[in-house]
Chains A and B, each alone.
Chain A
Amino acid sequence: MWNLGRKILAERSLLAIVLAGVLIVSVGMRRVDLGQNEVSYAGAEGEKAGWARCADVVITGDSRVVFGVSGNVMREHLGDLRIVNYGFYGCGYDEQYLRAIDEQFAPDSGQKMLVLGITPHSLTEKARRRNSFKVEKQRFESRTTLQANAVRHPRFFLPMKPSNFVRAILGNQKGKANVRNAKVSNQPDKGVNDGWISSVQSINPVADVDNYRFNFFNNVVTENAVEKLLVWVRKWSSSGILVFGFRPPTSEAMVALEEQLSGFDESDFVERFEAAGGSWIEMDQYKYLSFDGSHLHRDGAIAFSHDLGEKIRLEQGPPTDLARKSFLLSQ
């Protein structure tokens, strides 16, 4: 033992590696920002970016959709369809994302439905140009089996916010969870990952509203972004896909901010959306619980997903054979 100690001391690089290992594990064990069952937001989105030809119902949009809609909850109303939440954080409806949405439908699907979550930000040039879907897609494509497994398992090694890092070092257990500290849908999912990320953060309904003001700094909804989306809506609806649109619920303060700054004319958009072949679903914007004034809390998301599923079922009319069969099976 003494000899081993001497050898380690004699070899500083070995000592540094051993110490680094000890420090990394110690700090990881003391981290306060991740629970046992949680997965990183980035990890969850990275998984999604690799999906293709897997769904009957595809729900799209930005983080308001990511946090707000559970396909598994909607299945209670729409039957045993394959419903995926294909939303991405900060995502605008750019061409690459639209093409990827188009590729999500399973070839054997008997009832293709597209549910587009439309936030004003998703129709801005900045959101389109930032192309956050592309970033996730690239991340997915460039990673290997090893990296994919690393995302799934040692959450321990995920990066931390500096404040949480300091807490982990100092042992302050009052860690602050953040948006990225969230669970991939686990309720009531029967073990199926539907792409929903639920958040159980403490609720502060106006926490981040002010920050979203800057999303619209020199950046408003543009005709170009709207028209490019509507081109696809026409294409989808003419190919027999049922296309629905809705504005993901948020808080009153957020809607007021969007009305003031985004330049989004909802009634005009809805008129054009329906003329392109889509069906607009009016959803109560303020009824559901939000954790930060923008995104829905898990409880709000479950309630909203029930309501959305129910409204789509009513809109959709009599189910097709496959959907009917699935629906009956699920009863």
Chain B
Amino acid sequence: MLFNSIDFLVFILLFFGLWPVMRRRDNLRWGYLVVSSFVFYGWWDWRFLFLITASGLVDFLAALGMERWRERKKLLLIGSLVANLGALAVFKYLDFAIENLNGLAGLVGIEVSVRPMGLMLPVGISFYTFQSMSYTIDVYRGRLKATRNIGHFFAYLAMFPQLVAGPIVRATDMLDQLKTVGDTTEQGRFEGLRLIAHGFFKKVVIADNLAPVVTAAFAGEKIPSTVYWWIIMVMFAFQIYCDFSGYSDIARGLGKWMGYELPINFNRPYLSGSFREFWGRWHISLSSWFRDYVYIPLGGSRKSAAAGHGNLWITMLLSGLWHGAAWTFVGWAVLHSFYLSLERLTKWPERLGRIPGGKHAAVLAVFGMTTLAWVFFRAESFAQAGGILGVMFSWQSTEVDVFRNLLSYKALAILALMVGREMYCYFRLPLNLDWGEGLLVRVAQPTMVAVVLMICVYLRGPGSEFIYFQF
């Protein structure tokens, strides 16, 4: 079920209609959450439910087993990881592997033609698999006590606001929260609605209105204009940011209405002055997952500088593949690994920051380089990415009329709005005004939220799925 659908509106009215009653008792609350979440998830395709149930059961039982048979907990952990990563490998990477195998065999002159399986990719598999894995790993490490209540566990795993596109919540945070009734306050409910309205605005007004222009650019023949492609790529940078962070905002808002706190997933990433900072602000729940469960266990940067770089590259490459089974995602990850390594070696942002205006230049440079990396993320092939980068870096101009036709005024206006918003935040202009507490304020704040919701209805772009669903 998509957040931006009428089905979801009906679902959420029913859910919150019964929530005040259902949340009072633990088992009832967990059961209600699980059933609702399964309805939400099964709305796409009920067959997906078997996989999430199987995946969850493996981890639930493995964690219980670890506490009962401590001497075999490593074996149980390995079993759980194999089951989780195995499911991910089959559904997400099998066809990619087959295609590469066929290609590789052809290169060395061997006639191999294994047919791709064409399996359907279950929505959000990468998100809930990682969430489930974090539970068993944390129980293995002794950081978490395994829950004995299967409803409690599945309420954590399948909780619908963040099930299909994050934030990836940790069992250490969420299992505890789910133990409580989850009381809400008036302030919390209003904050939740504000986040939901803001999230919808980002998704349906910003991202969905930029999407057609970006899609047309990548579908069409190569337009030989440097300015055109820079504009398109900046548009894509904002499209993906608003698409994904919009989802996270809605998820967090729904969480607040339920009385739970989901972690912040985006913290104005395009205002970062270094790549290290960027990865601390972009998809924070995934970055920290990879940091805690891959990078640090590999040794981090503790052993030597060279090993640190190696671990960084391994982590980033895995992160690239997490996003999708295509070499273009690996290309995107390689570029970011390179940026991070270069930054570690040269410390260029700090050096640049010492000269007047250098900090601003660093932010601009990080944004520009991030935008370049998005070319690989969005392109359908290396050839297309190469062609676009070629145009972006060799000055080519074309008729001004092209822009009039290919870049709609609406999309350009939205781009200007986003750039303006980022500048506003960057120069630390007051984003959340101190409204005080008067009667006028109590009306003005909800009025603003209402206007945003109305704009979401009438100025929304062509409906589309959230980009991160495919991951």
Interface positions of A (Cβ within 8 A of B)? 9-13, 15-17, 19-20, 22-24, 27-28, 31, 42, 125-126, 129-131, 139, 142, 144, 146-147, 150, 157, 159-162, 165, 168, 211, 213-214, 217-219
Contacts and interface: CB of A to CB of B under 8 A. Distances in A.
B450 A214 contact: no
Contacts, number: 111
A42 B462 contact: yes
B223 A24 contact: no
A88 to B, nearest CB: 14
Contacts of A130: 216, 219-220
A218 B465 CA distance: 30
B6 A146 contact: yes
B459 A13 contact: no
Contacts of A13: 186, 189-190, 192-193, 446
B7 A19 contact: no
Interface in B94-130: none
Contacts of A147: 5-7
A165 B459 contact: yes
Interface in B398-427: 401-402, 405-406, 410, 413
Contacts of A219: 220-221
Nearest to A218: B221
Contacts of A27: 454, 458
B369 interface: no
B443 A9 contact: yes
Nearest to B9: A146
Contacts of B446: 12-13, 15-16, 19
Contact of B442 (A9, A22, A42): A9
B313 to A, nearest CB: 34
B193 to A, nearest CB: 4
Contact of A162 (B7, B450, B459): B459
B10 A146 contact: yes
A23 B219 contact: no
A321 B410 CA distance: 55
B193 A9 contact: no
Given A15-B443, A218-B222, A23 B186 contact: no
Contacts of B459: 159-160, 162, 165
A28 B461 CA distance: 17
Contacts of A162: 410, 413, 459
A20 B449 contact: yes
A161 B461 CA distance: 10
Given A157-B457, A162-B459, A23 B450 contact: yes
Contacts of B445: 12, 16
Contact of A126 (B7, B190, B221, B462): B221
Contact of A16 (B401, B410, B450): B450
B18 to A, nearest CB: 18
Interface centre among B5, B190, B446 (most CB of A within 10 A): B446
A159 B445 CA distance: 25
A47 B220 CA distance: 26
A19 B450 contact: yes
A24 B443 contact: no
Contacts of B449: 16, 20
Given A129-B219, A130-B220, A17 B193 contact: yes
B224 interface: yes
Contact of A24 (B224, B405, B454): B454
25 contacts: A9-B439, A9-B442, A11-B189, A12-B186, A12-B190, A15-B443, A16-B445, A16-B453, A20-B449, A20-B450, A20-B453, A20-B454, A24-B453, A24-B457, A27-B454, A31-B458, A126-B219, A129-B220, A131-B219, A142-B465, A144-B7, A146-B10, A157-B457, A159-B457, A213-B401
A49 to B, nearest CB: 14
A150 B6 CA distance: 8
B145 interface: no
Nearest to B462: A42
Contacts of A129: 219-220
A20 B186 CA distance: 18
Contacts of B192: 13
B54 interface: no
Interface string B457-469: 1111111010000
Interface string B375-415: 00000000000000000000000000110011000100100
A15 B273 CA distance: 40
B224 A218 contact: yes
Interface centre among B5, B6, B43, B465 (most CB of A within 10 A): B6
B288 interface: no
B451 interface: yes
Given A9-B442, A10-B186, A13-B189, A159 B406 contact: no
Nearest to A148: B6
Nearest to A160: B458
